[in-house]
Amino acid sequence: MQTQSPSSVDRSAEFRRWKAQSLSKADLSRKGSVDEDVVELVQVLNAQEQFFTTSSCAGRILLRDGGINGFEVQKQNCCWLLVTHKPCVKDDVIVALKKANGDAVLKFEPFVLHVQCRQLQDAQILHSVAIDSGFRNSGITVGKRGKTMLAVRSTHGLEVPLSHKGKLMVTEEYIDFLLNVANQKMEENKKRIGRFYNCLQRALEREAISNSHPKIKEKNNPSYTHKKKRNPEKAHGKSITEENNKELENDDDDNPGINVAIFPEDY
Amino acid sequence: MQTQSPSSVDRSAEFRRWKAQSLSKADLSRKGSVDEDVVELVQVLNAQEQFFTTSSCAGRILLRDGGINGFEVQKQNCCWLLVTHKPCVKDDVIVALKKANGDAVLKFEPFVLHVQCRQLQDAQILHSVAIDSGFRNSGITVGKRGKTMLAVRSTHGLEVPLSHKGKLMVTEEYIDFLLNVANQKMEENKKRIGRFYNCLQRALEREAISNSHPKIKEKNNPSYTHKKKRNPEKAHGKSITEENNKELENDDDDNPGINVAIFPEDY
């Protein structure tokens, strides 16, 4: 084990208290339980002393009624007409839409996960895992009293206005088409969760190895260095890396108009 | 001035080199210049020694043709049929759609900004500014060699499939309706940029004051503490804070299904 300064000992103790407190509390979500598709992932993270999850959603299709305020962006009194974590068929949406009296919007919301991390370095490792698995909008938050969170977020959504003041603005054929797109995104989202799970396992294995060899750790594991570069593990990670590169290129195709003064290399 | 350790002097010098290099390079974006609506903001940030911007987009409506791969999520050979940073009318989209031979998708992409920061603490201050201005998906990235970036991101998008294999799936009336929604989001997006600009100015003023009183700084400015809590400046910030709270509540209305094991207080 490495020697720790008194302040890092304090920090560790405080983190353990937060974690115990968090995991002992009831699940306050509407659903009241962790989504099936991320149960294992959440368990793996919570079994690590340096992490605990504070919220998650595996991904879902939802239909929201936005009130009768017309084009208002910030909707008051919006309500949910439909929520599902499974593929969705046209008739479900048609039935739910009958209850809409405002501006109904169909959304696909991808996987999202919040993980509290013991130290910045732990968050960095998890951030690398997230980016490597295709969750490009992930980021770290460092809050008051050193609370360090990683948010895992995807770029991969769908948000489609369907009705205006209760009047349906699209055809049933369109809804059918749209749900095919949404279900496809749900499928892709599941694959990314799988990738995240696998990348995480490998990162944790590498951590375990470097922790059991503190000198190697000292040398190879400075703060502010991304894990993936430290231990490339080409044989293991190759197919995933290639997949991601393709994906990122595609995503970049979406963004050539962003004003890039320059993106620092190796960012 | 505070005394600095040799490593923080090195870090500062390295940051200045990165910044000089970055700002001297050509703008590699398709457009080749910073969007009008964020020019001032970018200038204010780049005038600070602790920040420089690496990419930005003020917000835009775009129409993308996704190739003829049907429901494939990762589109190859997608091309842009229309991009605008201004409000958009139906006829522009109708004309552009005539060139679509695949799955055309209309998107509204809100403001996005990447800022490289000298230290984690600088990124934290900017992160607070972003969250306080309503950019809830913002986050910090700490890369190799200590490169610390803040990404400012909004939750506030639109992504609507319009055609399938070149066939238009919606009516012109729907496109008109959709563009009203998109233009409204563009308007709201501009307001948020304004809020970000104002919050930033206030945060920088507070920084300047605490830097000119190092003892106050020592006392009130520990690492890992959010600026907004340190110096609440209620008189200044009140209306904006109230606006944001309302907004966050509304946004939360969108997310009651997320499995919240518990969100740590004060996060």
Q: What percent of chain A has pLDDT over 70?
A: 73
Residue A239 has pLDDT above 60, yes or no: no
What chain A residue is nearest to B164 in terms of C-alpha separation? A177
pLDDT for the residue numbered B193: 97
The string of DSSP letters for B171-225 reads -HHHHHHHHHHHHHHHHHHHHHHHHHHHHHHHHHHHHHHHHHSHHHHHHH--TT-
- In terms of pLDDT, which residue wins out, A184 or B249? A184
Q: What distance in Å separates residue A170's CA from the closest CA in chain B?
A: 6
Query: Is B93 within 8 Å of A115 (Cβ atoms)?
Result: no
Distance CA B144, CA B150 (A): 15
- Of B60, B139, B143, nearest to A226 by CB-CB distance is B143
More confident call, A39 vs A27: A39
pLDDT of A215:
57
pLDDT bin (cut points 50, 70, 90) of residue A67 is low
| A26 DSSP assignment | -
Q: Does A91 or A215 have the greater pLDDT score? A: A91
Lowest-pLDDT range, A68-82, A84-98, B157-171, B187-201? Answer: A68-82
Q: Which residues of A touch B157 (CB under 8 A)?
A: 157, 159
Q: How distant is the Cα of A250 from the closest Cα of chain B, in angstroms?
A: 7
Q: Using CA atoms, how far apart are residues B224 and A212, in angstroms rounded to an integer?
A: 30
* Tens digits of residue pLDDT in A124-141: 999 999 999 999 999 999
Domain locations in chain B?
13-202
From the candidate CATH numbers 3.30.1960.10, 3.40.190.10, 3.40.50.1240, 1.25.40.90, the one assigned to the domain spanning B13-202? 3.30.1960.10
Task: Tell me the average pLDDT of chain A.
Answer: 79
pLDDT of residue A55: 95
Per CB-CB distance under 8 Å, the chain B contacts of A260 are 27-29, 54-55
| Euclidean distance between CA atoms B149 and B159, whole angstroms | 27
Q: What is the pLDDT of residue A11?
A: 83
pLDDT of residue A25: 85
Q: Cα–Cα distances in Å, from A11 out to A6, A145, B127?
A: 9, 9, 22
Please report the pLDDT score of residue A6 as a whole number: 61
B116/A264 touch (CB, cutoff 8 Å), yes or no: yes
A contact test, residue of B129, B258, B266, B267 with most A CBs within 10 A? B258
Do the Cβ atoms of A144 and B72 come within 8 Å? no
Q: What is the mean predicted confidence (pLDDT) over A4-22?
A: 83
Measured between beta carbons, the chain B residues lying within 8 angstroms of A173 are 169
Mutate to test the interface with A, among B142, B259, B267 (most CBs of A within 10 A): B259
Mean pLDDT check: name the lowest of A39-48, A147-156, B140-149, B215-224: B215-224
Q: Pick from A157, A259, A266: which is nearest to B143 by CB? A: A266
Question: Is B184 in Cβ contact with A71 (below 8 Å)?
Answer: yes
- Report, as an integer, the average pLDDT of B217-238: 39
Q: What architecture is the A12-195 domain classified under in CATH?
A: 2-Layer Sandwich (3.30)
Residue A155 predicted with pLDDT over 70: yes
Q: How many CB pairs (< 8 A) connect A and B?
A: 263
Suggest the residue from A259, A265, A267 to mutate for an interface test with chain B (most B CBs closer than 10 A).
Answer: A259
The residues that bridge with A84 in the sheet, in sequence order, are: A61
Least confident of A189-193, A211-215, B254-258: B254-258
Q: Which of A58-62, A239-243, B52-56 has the lowest mean pLDDT?
A: A239-243
**B212: closest CA of chain A, how far (Å):** 23
CA distance B31 to A188: 32
Q: Do residues B43 and B57 touch, judged by C-beta distance below 8 A? A: no
A265 and B CB contact within 8 Å: no
Centre a 10 Å sphere on the Cβ of residue B61 and count the other Cβ atoms it contains. Answer: 24
The most confident of A142-146, B3-7, B201-205, by mean pLDDT? B201-205
The residue among B69 and A103 whose pLDDT is bigger is A103
Inter-chain residue contact A263 with B225, CB threshold 8 Å: no
Quote the CA–CA distance of B21 and A263 in Å, as a whole number.
11
Interface of B with A in 75-134 (CB under 8 A): 75-76, 78, 80, 83, 112, 114, 116, 120, 123-124, 127
Whole-number Cα distances in Å, B221 to A145, B214, B234: 12, 10, 18
User: Taking all residues of chain B, what is their mean pLDDT, rounded to a whole number?
Assistant: 79
